């Protein structure tokens, strides 16, 4: 049985890391663009692929000692907050 909580945890954290990493490390952004024709397409395919893969493969009921439901909820909200905060700071810098 799949665990979509873990897929949500993995993919949301991965998305935040990709977003911030691609802005701070230009070669990462250009590599994504070179492989997928556009960096956003690369992030979309990699993150949704990670969501499906992690959901099917990673079936643990806990993540670092906390329930996978709580881990997913906090991962998604914190990842969204991290992306917004990063773009605000990046614009102001």
| Residues lying near another protein in the complex (CB under 8 A) | 2, 4-5, 7-8, 11-12, 15, 19, 37-38, 40-41, 43-44, 47-48, 51, 69, 72-73, 76-77, 79-80, 83-84, 87-88, 90-91
What minimum distance in Å lies between the beta carbon of 21 and another protein?
Answer: 12
Q: What is the DSSP string of the chain?
A: ---HHHHHHHHHHHHHHHHHHHHH-HHHHHHHHHHHSSHHHHHHHHHHHHHHHHHHH---SEETTEEHHHHHHHHHHHHHHHHHHHHHHHHH-
Q: Which is nearer to another protein, 11 or 63 (CB)?
A: 11
What minimum distance in Å lies between the beta carbon of 74 and another protein?
Answer: 12
């Amino acid at each position: 049985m799949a665990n979509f909580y873990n897929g949500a945890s993995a993919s949301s954290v991965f998305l935040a890391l990709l977003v911030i990493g691609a802005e701070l490390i230009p070669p990462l952004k250009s590599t994504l663009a070179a492989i997928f024709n556009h960096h956003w397409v690369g992030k979309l395919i990699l993150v949704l692929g990670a969501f499906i893969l992690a959901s099917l493969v990673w079936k643990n009921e806990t993540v670092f000692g906390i329930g996978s439901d709580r881990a997913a909820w906090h991962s998604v909200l914190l990842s969204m907050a991290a992306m917004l905060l990063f773009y605000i700071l990046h614009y102001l810098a």
